[in-house]
Every structure is written in structure tokens, then in C-alpha cells.
Amino acid sequence: MAGATGLVGQAVLAALLTDKRYTAVHCVGRRALALKHPKLINHVLDLPGLKKLPGIAHVDDVFIALGTTIKTAGSQAAFRAVDFDAVVAVARAAKAAGASRLGVISAMGASPRSSVFYSRVKGEMEEALAQLGYLTLIIARPSMLAGDRAALAQPERPGEHLALIATRWLKPLIPANYRAIAGEAVAQALISAVQETEQGQRVLLSGAMQHP
């Protein structure tokens, strides 16, 4: 698991720790999590430069919820280091450790041919992951996320706040793929798809991940 401190990542981690199908959850990141759990093992690693997973003998499934914004990262290069380099490095290292199923959080509108830098990097990341040879690859493309970023010590994202308000008041008029979506809903959909898909690549659009 990489990206366990984010809005979706913390929901993925919480679900994995309570899932009886997993006996251990290895979290990789720049710093150890404050959370303690009998199944949780922390690994402090430099993700963009990751070549292998030291201390991890074998991996079955891998979940990646890494992501930042250009504003938070400080530059386009710093953003790409997280949303492309780190994501691909973790996926490659996990594959080398035996992982056959990968679930990753991308973004709505991701395309390697997009004129928008953010969307283009996300699309290039998806393409790079598809080349790694995973038996199962699940790509989740949520729309604006709904959740309490302040509780995670993350800066507020005005766009997400506005999308949540719009969804509350105009839900019947907004296509499902464009409604704000809870991080927990994305996490549940991603884990279920990874566990239920025998092989192949599958893209989860935001509308398909919405709770009824």
C-alpha cells in the first residue's frame, strides 16, 4: 500500500486492515504512519527512486493511492515525481516481489494526449502501469473527492468543496461521473474490483463507484 495518508488512501488502508483475506499490510512511504495495528508493517522508503521492496519477501496485491497537486508539490516536476515516478516505481517493485494484481487511483479525464498537464501525467502513468505485465490492473478515476481533508492535516481544495455543495443541491441534474464522491466509496470499489477481477485491465469511472 502506498499513499495511505491521503483521502482515499486512508480509507483503503482501513478496509485492508479489517479484511480477513489479508494477513499483513505493508505500507511504504517517506515516513512511518502514526497508526498502529497488528497487521500493519511500515516501511520508510524513497518512493520515486524505489528499485525493490526491502524487508518484504512476497506481495500478492498492491494498492497505490499516491497523488498531490501542482500547488502543493511546488512545480510541475515535483508533481510528476509523485504522480508518475513514485507510482510507477512502487508498482514495478511490487511486481518484482510477486504481485499479480494492482489497484491504482488515477483521476477523471486522465489521458496521455490531454492538453492539461495534470490529466496528461495521470494518463501517462496509466499507460506505464499497463506495460508492467500485471495479471489484473484496476484503474479508478474518481471525480472531485468528498471528505474531511482538515482531519488528515491536508490543505482544503476549493474545487472539491464547491463540487460537494453542487452535488448536494443539484444531484439529480449532475451526471453520475461528475458528482463529488466520498473517498470511502472509491476505496471500497477499488478493493472489490481488485479482488473480483480475475485478469485484464479495468477502468472504474466515478459514476460506477458511487453508492446507490
Check residue 83 and give its pLDDT: 97
What would you measure as the largest C-alpha separation in the chain, in angstroms? 50
Helix (H) or strand (E) holding 63: strand 61-64
For residue 211, which of 182, 169, 177, 174 has the smallest C-alpha distance? Answer: 182
Check residue 129 and give its pLDDT: 98
Q: How far apart are CA 29 and CA 154, in angstroms?
A: 16
Q: How far apart are CA 193 and CA 203, in angstroms?
A: 10
Q: How far apart are CA 104 and CA 127, in angstroms?
A: 12
- pLDDT tens-place string over residues 130-151: 999 999 999 999 988 875 544 4
Check residue 4 and give its pLDDT: 94
Per DSSP, 161 falls in state: H
Produce one character per residue of 77-100: b if its CB has 16 or more CB atoms within 10 Å, e if not. Answer: eebbbbbbbbbbbbbbbbbebebe
Q: How far apart are CA 64 and CA 94, in angstroms?
A: 11
Kindly give the residue spans of alpha helices, DSSP state H, lying in the chain. 7-18, 70-73, 76-80, 87-96, 117-130, 158-170, 183-196, 206-209
3-state secondary structure string across 11-36: HHHHHHHHCCCCCCEEEEECCCCCCC
Check residue 149 and give its pLDDT: 43
- Per the CB < 8 A criterion, the answer to whether 72 and 83 are in contact is no
C-alpha of 1 from chain center = 9
Check residue 97 and give its pLDDT: 95
Check residue 157 and give its pLDDT: 52
Delineate the domains of the chain, giving CATH numbers in brackets.
7-209 (3.40.50.720)
The mean pLDDT values, 10 residues at a time, for the chain of 212 residues are 93 96 94 92 91 90 94 94 97 96 96 96 98 97 71 51 50 64 92 94 91 64
**Alpha-carbon distances, residue 107 vs 44, 144, 203 (angstroms):** 26, 9, 11
What pTM was estimated for this model as a whole? 0.87
Check residue 123 and give its pLDDT: 98
Q: How far apart are CA 185 and CA 190, in angstroms?
A: 9
